[in-house]
């Protein structure tokens, strides 16, 4: 039987970052994953935004997460001799008087992250807007698909990757560690997004899966490298191609792209864009969000050889590097997981 220290299930952002930190710490691992082009990580916009919501509140832990993410994406980029992120700004065109007032109020109370748009006409060549704009900065734009593809290639060439569907019926708990198929490991960590909501070890966790839809749109000659937002967002994806989205549906009949979103997106483009555009692709994915909007990190209270790194919703680009390192340090025998993220907070639920 093959032996390793950690078996990771899933290679979205969570599995990518956990495997990176284990590699950095010299902890043996294998990662099992069959690629899914519509997994939430691969369809993510890749934006780390320091403010959020209609009231423009500071994103949870952003003072720690933003510099940590910047350093981490830079480090893995250097290792793979590639670039996976850039610092940028969100140009926020106010879609309503209420949003304009929320921006102004927040700026008066705490100007961190916000810059008022001093030239109201600056973007009128490309966009239709009536209530002006403000800038949110600095933000990070992570090239998620590029990162996942490059890291997967390295994992494969280095002998860490098992390209297969994970079959939980083949998982066997031992007194110490686990066995899966022909492999033994000290720990198994589930980084498999929406699938963990149906995992018998973690299905009691308060997941709140939601559906997000988006599009890829070709638009030439927009001001370079910026994110444009007016309700929905236009995010640079590759040269002259933008990610457009996203929707948030808490109740949905299926995980396929819908005509409703397409109609809304086409109407948004018609009213917002002054320059030609071409819709290239529509997609949908299911986000592994949580009821309390905090991630699930740590080990099962009854089965300490079985762990999870999941539940990051729309914040995976900032949460995954940070909490993957905390979990890797825990596996290495030191460090602690932030209590607000540690699944120890659900000990009573999971212990039933």
Label residue 196 left, alpha or beta by phi (over 0 means left) and psi (-120 to 50 means alpha): alpha
Question: What's the whole-number mean pLDDT along residues 103-118?
Answer: 94
For residue 23, give the 3-state DSSP assignment: helix
CA angle 153, 157, 158 (to 5 degrees): 115
Q: Which fold has domain 2-43+146-207+291-350?
A: FAD/NAD(P)-binding domain (3.50.50)
pLDDT of 122: 96
List CB contacts of 240: < 8 A, sequence separation 6 or more: 218, 219, 220, 221
Length of the chain, please?
A: 352
pLDDT band at 9 (very low <50, low <70, confident <90, very high): very high
pLDDT band at 1 (very low <50, low <70, confident <90, very high): confident
Burial grade of 60 (CB within 10 A; 0-12, 13-18, 19 or more): middle
pLDDT band at 293 (very low <50, low <70, confident <90, very high): very high
> In Å, how far from its chain's centre is CA 99?
25
Question: What's the whole-number mean pLDDT along residues 65-80?
Answer: 98
Pairing mode, if any, of strands 57-58 and 47-48?
Answer: unpaired
What is the chain's percent helix, strand, coil content, to nearest 5?
Answer: 30, 30, 40
Pairing mode, if any, of strands 306-310 and 183-190?
Answer: parallel
Q: Measure the N-to-C terminal CA separation of the chain; round to a whole number of Å.
A: 33
Residue 54 has pLDDT above 80, yes or no: no
Domain spans of the chain, in order of start: 2-43+146-207+291-350, 47-142, 210-287
Percent of the chain past pLDDT 70, that is, above it, reads 100
CA quadruple 65, 67, 71, 77: dihedral, nearest 10: 70
List CB contacts of 63: < 8 A, sequence separation 6 or more: none
Percent of the chain past pLDDT 90, that is, above it, reads 92
Q: What is the pLDDT of residues 172-181, one digit of tens each?
A: 999 999 999 9
Q: What is the pLDDT of residues 188-198, one digit of tens each?
A: 999 999 999 99
For residue 77, give the 3-state DSSP assignment: helix
DSSP states along 206-233: -B--EEEEEEEEE--SPSTT-EEEESEE
Residue with tokens 């483009």: 269
pLDDT band at 18 (very low <50, low <70, confident <90, very high): very high
Question: What's the whole-number mean pLDDT along residues 69-87?
Answer: 98
pLDDT of 13: 97
Q: What is the pLDDT of residues 33-50, one digit of tens each?
A: 998 888 889 999 999 999
pLDDT band at 55 (very low <50, low <70, confident <90, very high): confident
Residue 120 has pLDDT above 80, yes or no: yes
Question: Hey, which residues does 306 pair with through a beta bridge?
Answer: 188
């Amino acid at each position: 039987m093959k032996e390793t220290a950690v078996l990771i299930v899933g290679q979205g952002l969570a599995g990518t970052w956990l495997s990176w930190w284990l590699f950095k710490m010299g902890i043996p691992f294998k990662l099992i994953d069959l690629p899914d082009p519509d997994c939430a990580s691969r369809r993510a916009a890749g934006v780390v935004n320091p403010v959020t919501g209609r009231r423009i509140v500071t994103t949870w832990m952003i003072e720690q997460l933003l510099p940590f993410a910047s350093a981490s994406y830079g480090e893995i980029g250097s290792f793979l001799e590639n670039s996976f992120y850039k610092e940028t700004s969100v140009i926020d065109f106010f879609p309503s008087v209420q949003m304009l007032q929320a921006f102004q109020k927040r700026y008066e109370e705490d100007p961190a992250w916000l810059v008022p748009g001093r030239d109201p006409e600056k973007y009128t060549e490309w966009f239709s807007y009536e209530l002006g704009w403000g800038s949110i900065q600095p933000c990070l734009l992570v090239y998620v698909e590029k990162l996942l593809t490059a890291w997967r290639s390295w994992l494969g060439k280095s002998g860490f990757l098992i390209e297969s569907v994970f079959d939980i019926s083949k998982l066997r708990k031992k007194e110490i560690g686990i066995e899966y198929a022909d492999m033994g490991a000290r720990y198994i960590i589930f980084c498999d997004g929406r699938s963990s909501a149906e995992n018998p070890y973690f299905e009691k966790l308060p997941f709140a899966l939601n559906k997000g839809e988006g599009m890829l749109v070709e638009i030439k000659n927009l001001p370079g490298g910026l994110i444009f937002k007016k309700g929905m967002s236009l995010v640079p994806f590759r040269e002259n191609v933008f990610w457009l989205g996203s929707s948030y549906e808490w109740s949905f009949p299926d995980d396929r792209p819908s005509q409703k979103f397409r109609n809304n997106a086409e109407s948004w483009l018609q009213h917002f864009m002054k320059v030609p555009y071409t819709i290239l692709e529509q997609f949908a994915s299911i986000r592994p969000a949580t009821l309390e909007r905090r991630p699930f990190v740590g080990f099962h209270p009854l089965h300490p050889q079985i762990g999870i790194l999941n539940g990051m919703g729309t914040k995976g680009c900032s949460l995954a590097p940070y909490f993957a390192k905390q979990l890797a340090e825990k596996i290495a025998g030191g460090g602690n997981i932030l209590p607000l993220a540690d699944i120890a907070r659900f000990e009573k639920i999971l212990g039933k």
